[in-house]
Amino acid sequence: MQSTLAAVEKGHRFEPVRFSLSQEWVRDYVAAVEDGAIGGVGTYAPPMSLASLSIRALLEQSPLPPGSVHIGQELSFRRPAGVGENLTVHAEVSSRGERRGWVLMGVTLAVQSEDGSPVMDGRATITFPVDREAAG
C-alpha cells in the first residue's frame, strides 16, 4: 500500500524519478491550460509543464493526504527543457511542523538533465490535517 505525504518526516528523501517531457505530454499540457501566450508545441516545453510533470512524478510515490491545501511554491528555471528530453527529479522534505491539528510541510525539488546539469529547482509548501488515526 502506498503511503501519503502525511507519513513522511523532515529529511525524508524521495526516490529519484526519471521522466520524459514527451511531445504528447507537452501538447496535452498546452491544450489543458488554454494559455494564448503559448503558441503550441515547439522545440522547448513551457516551464510550468516541467514543474507539473515533476510534481506529478513525486505524488505518484506519496500522494497528498485528504484535506491537503497547496499554499505556495517557488520555482527557478535554470535553462529551457527540450520537448522529448529525459530528466530526473530529486526531492526531500525540508521542513515539517505541526500546530493546532495541522501539518505544514516544505518539499524541495531539483530537476536535472541526463548529464546532471540543473534544469529547475524549487520548493512547494503544503498543509494538511494531522491524521489522528495514523498517529494513534
Say what the pLDDT of residue 134 is. 46
Distance of CA 128 to the CA centre of its chain: 17
In the block, residue with C-alpha cell 523532515: 10
Q: What is the DSSP letter of 35?
A: -
Q: Does residue 136 carry a pLDDT above 70?
A: no
Rg of the chain over CA atoms, in angstroms? 16
Q: What does the DSSP assignment read for 78-111?
A: -SPPBTT-EEEEEEEEEEEEEETTEEEEEEEEEE
State pLDDT tens for residues 2-20.
567 888 899 999 999 999 9
State pLDDT tens for residues 36-85.
677 656 788 888 888 888 888 888 888 888 899 999 999 999 999 999 99
Query: Cell triple for residue 74?
Result: 517557488
Query: What kind of architecture, by CATH, is found in domain 5-135?
Result: Roll (3.10)
Q: Which residue has better confidence, 113 or 26?
A: 113
Q: 4: which residues sit within 8 A by CB, 6+ positions away? A: 62, 63, 64, 65
Put simply, whether the predicted model's pTM sits higher than 0.85 gets the answer no
- Mean pLDDT, to the nearest integer, of 12-32? 89
Q: How far apart are CA 127 and CA 29, in angstroms?
A: 26
Query: Cell triple for residue 43?
Result: 522545440
Backbone phi and psi for residue 23, each to the nearest 5 degrees, phi listed first: -60, -40
User: pLDDT band at 115, cuts 50/70/90?
Assistant: very high
- Mean pLDDT, to the nearest integer, of 95-108? 94
Q: Where are the domains of the chain?
A: 5-135
Backbone phi and psi for residue 67, each to the nearest 5 degrees, phi listed first: 85, 5
Q: How far apart are CA 110 and CA 120, in angstroms?
A: 6
Q: Which residue has better confidence, 106 or 7?
A: 106
